[in-house]
Amino acid sequence: MIYPLIITALSPLLLLQGLHVRKVTPRLPEPHGERSGESGAGPALRLLILGDSAAAGVGVAHQSEALSGQLSNQLACNFKLSWQLSAKNGFKSQNIVELLEKKPLKVFDAVLISIGVNDVTGGTSQKKWLALQLQIIEQLTVKFSTQQIIFTALPPMHCFPALPQPLRWVFGLRAKQLNRCLQKMIIDKSNCTFLQLQTPMKAEYIAEDGFHPSAKTYTLWAQEAAKRIKINRQTV
């Protein structure tokens, strides 16, 4: 009960801070580089990386430094890998649902998802957000026959340097709430897992805009995702 009252009381300040952040924060481009490919040798693995600006690699100059490039390189050491990147700066969960509705039919063995930050900043309600995650799970499971869906936890927004207080605290609290709800929702879904990164909160792990991952964070993310995928493929 206290949280909504605090948010209501702070809403004029939060609105001003949000507008200021949008005005002064550099808008980094999506990196250049391939967004699909085939490489490696071994058992076949069809991978989809899905989501927002972090999935798209914002924060680095080239996809080779981003999540897609680093993850595909790691998996190619063990698999005959076919991969796609379907992600865009600014995407919310609703955009992912719409993207999957239009995406041509294809089997993906594993899907790595990064979504939620723009839902937090855009004010998507918890109820609607969870409903959208369920819809994404159903789309991937039914239409794309996905055996492993990895949801990446929302990042620690309470640590984002680009956000002033109390906006940083509010967004951070909201991100934590969505993470807890998502973990609880997927606990009984056998093809879903939750990936919580343990990223050091140091300057070198954050991009120059104070908001997106740096190459070092993408390295950690790719390593942890690759571990999950390799373990899962051993049990299939």
Residues 55-81, buried b or exposed e (16+ Cβ, 10 A)?
bbbbbbeebbbbbbbbbbebbbebbeb
Phi (first) and psi of residue 201, to 5 degrees: -85, 70
Report all structural domains of the chain as residue ranges with CATH numbers, in order of start.
12-21+32-235 (3.40.50.1110)
Reading the block at residue 232, the tokens are: 């899962």
Dist. CA 150–CA 181, nearest whole Å:
15
Cα angle 200-220-100, degrees, rounded to a multiple of 5? 120
What does the alpha-carbon distance between residue 7 and residue 103 come to, in Å, rounded to a whole number? 38
The pairing of strands 80-87 and 36-39 is: antiparallel
Cα separation, 130 vs 104, whole angstroms: 25
Q: Which residues contact 62 (CB under 8 A, 6 or more apart)?
A: 31, 32, 33, 69
3-state secondary structure of 7: helix
Q: What is the pTM of this model?
A: 0.93
Question: What φ, ψ does residue 2 adopt, rounded to 5°?
Answer: -70, -40
* DSSP-derived secondary structure for 24-65: HS--PPPPBS-SEEEE--SSEEEEEEEESHHHHTTTSSBTTT
pLDDT score of 6: 64
What does the pLDDT look like over 89-130, one tens digit per residue?
999 999 999 999 999 999 999 999 999 999 999 999 999 999
Segment 134-171, tens digit of pLDDT: 999 999 999 999 999 999 999 999 999 989 899 999 99
Encode pLDDT of 33-80 as tens digits. Answer: 999 999 999 999 999 999 999 999 999 999 999 999 999 999 999 999
